[in-house]
Amino acid sequence: MIELSDVSVTYAGAATPALTGASLRIEEGELVLVVGPTGSGKSTLLRCLNGLVPHFTGGTLRGSVRVAGRDTREHRPRDLADLVGFVAQDPRSGFVTDTVEDEIAYGMEALGVDPAAMRRRLEETLDLLGLADLRARSLGELSGGQQQRVAIAAVLAAGARILVLDEPTSALDPVAAEEVLAALTRLVHDLGMTVVLAEHRLERVVQHADRIVLVREGSVSPLLAPAAAMLESTVHPPVVELGRALGWSPLPLSVREARRQARDLRARVAGRVPVETDPAPTLPLAARVDRLVVRRGIVHALRGVNLDLPVGSVTAVMGRNGAGKSTLLAAVAGQLAPTSGSVRVGEVSPASLPPRVRCRRVGLVPQEPDLLLYSDSVATECRAADADFGMPSGTARALLTRIAGEVPDSRHPRDLSEGQRLALALAVILCGGPQVLLLDEPTRGLDYPAKRRLVVVLRELAAAGHAVALATHDVELVAEVADRVVVLAEGEVVADGPVRSVLAGSPAFAPQVAKICHPVALLTVDEVRTALEPAS
């Protein structure tokens, strides 16, 4: 179905290839997972499969890519659209119409599908992906999971037999992510479609893969069985990390498999759960939200929200897509005026401060890091941040390296991977040392090593007296770094407490280790290691 023969890709001005020596044969009806660190070349590999490389991204392609016998050198993406459907990380970036039905029909219209066949395909696709009840809805009103399913439906209705997806669940809450993955596995198993996807949140998807490709610094492995790939990969989810640490064989890839091997483990760690204290009552406040109401048009985005951000703490704000998390952070940052209630950073409303003063008090890294990046190279962006905040030269660059590793100074921010752009935006904001740091989906596009580096940075900021709040769907990050968790639903606080008490028993938000160890309330692999140490 898909055959790559000794494929290498080198972008203009790059000292080394982005991809080198890739030789793969992906069969019809497979779900293939592409795994690798941030910036390793995964997106380049995916974009080779529908001709985006080299026809739209530039660079030099060596070797050959053939999809169902068609050579991508001779067939541009539009020539492959009836065969290959590409779904980007942010489905909204590819929408061209206003409603669900029109978006699904658009691709068929562009390909000149007969109207009778178009109507039949539309109805079948709506039913297949569970979108029939949403057919007349505005795309802007949909949740992230619904938007992702619409994007898949649009390429599927156009006749694609191969789906290529770049980080399809990175911006989704756990329930919405499961909806999308369930739809993909149904397409593979019921219709025999071929799915190739890259995903950093492997805890969600590795158990669904038939085979895995490892990408590291542009080098591409052969197709591997999932367990063999996870034994070799430097990037792996907590369930695999736990299995490797404890020497379990066979290596578990899912919570179900791990629980079967964890009976003895649960007995050994019972009664050795760390004592958890709530920091909120004992620490001075860096920021306070009091009975906050925010209306956006006719929608009440927030309804009477109370939130304390103590000095030296890390608070996670969680909830399904559309619950109000981003709105809350924007209000704390002074970017949205309250309809009623108040926001105070220190003793002042952040909205009343001039922008240059405000960003030293409260810094927000948004979901779309491009909003903060204006320069034409990484080096220029870092120098500008140092100058804007009056910091010594190299401050922002050092922060970027700590979070994302080595990122070339000469690269344009638009040419960076999603995770690298996010790390650059974070470095820019951290350069100012804001008293309150707000992060909206800070691990989107970050691999596990990059997340571990981010955890260290956030812990150091909290220890230095900063208050950190992050809106995230990444339950594994929350388990590693947060002191407190606030859960929103329809603009209201439905849970607020220490991280262990909120996460450990939650079917939606519990991390993998908590599910494996339940009812023992351990959250991370490090906590398991500590619990297994001899009592002193």
Q: Is the peptide bond before 507 cis (omega within 30 degrees of 0)?
A: no
Residues contacting residue 125 through CB under 8 Å, at least 6 positions apart? 104, 131, 153, 156, 157
Q: Residues 223-239, buried b or exposed e (16+ Cβ, 10 A)?
A: bbebbebbeebebbbbb
CA angle 72, 75, 79 (to 5 degrees): 125
The count of other CB atoms within 10 Å of the CB of residue 461 is 18
Per DSSP, helices labelled H in 174-254 are: 174-191, 202-205, 226-232, 238-246
CA nearest neighbour of 357 among 337, 339, 340, 334: 334
From 165, 232, 177, select the one nearest 205 (Cα to Cα): 177
Residues whose CB falls within 8 Å of the CB of residue 455, separated by 6 or more in sequence, listed in order: 477, 480, 481
- Between CA 129 and CA 122 the distance in angstroms is 11
Contact 83, 162 (CB under 8 A): yes
Domain 2-234 fold: Rossmann fold (3.40.50)
pLDDT at 128: 81
pLDDT score at 73:
87
**Chain CA centroid to CA 30, Å:** 23
Boundaries of CATH 3.40.50.300 in the chain?
Answer: 2-234, 285-503
DSSP 415: G
Contact present, 125 and 114 (Cβ < 8 Å): no
Quote the strand ranges of 122-200, DSSP E.
Answer: 162-166, 194-198
Of 198, 181, 195, residue with least CA distance to 36:
198
The full 3-state SS of 472-497, as one line of letters, equals CCCHHHHHHHCCEEEEEECCEEEEEE
CA distance 312 to 285: 9
Instruction: Assign domain 285-503 to its CATH superfamily.
Output: P-loop containing nucleotide triphosphate hydrolases (3.40.50.300)
What is the pLDDT, as a whole number, of residue 278? 60
- Tens digit of pLDDT at every position of the chain (536 positions): 899 999 989 887 777 888 998 999 999 999 999 999 887 889 899 999 988 888 887 778 899 999 988 888 888 888 888 889 898 877 887 899 999 999 999 988 888 888 999 999 899 889 888 888 889 999 887 877 788 888 888 888 888 889 999 888 877 778 878 888 888 898 899 889 999 999 888 988 999 999 999 999 889 999 999 999 999 998 999 999 999 999 999 999 999 999 999 999 999 999 888 876 665 566 789 999 999 999 877 778 899 999 999 999 999 999 987 889 989 999 999 998 899 999 999 888 998 888 878 888 999 998 878 888 888 899 999 999 999 888 999 999 998 988 888 888 888 888 787 778 888 998 999 888 899 999 998 887 778 888 888 898 899 889 989 999 999 999 999 999 999 999 999 999 999 999 999 999 888 889 999 999 999 999 999 999 999 988 65
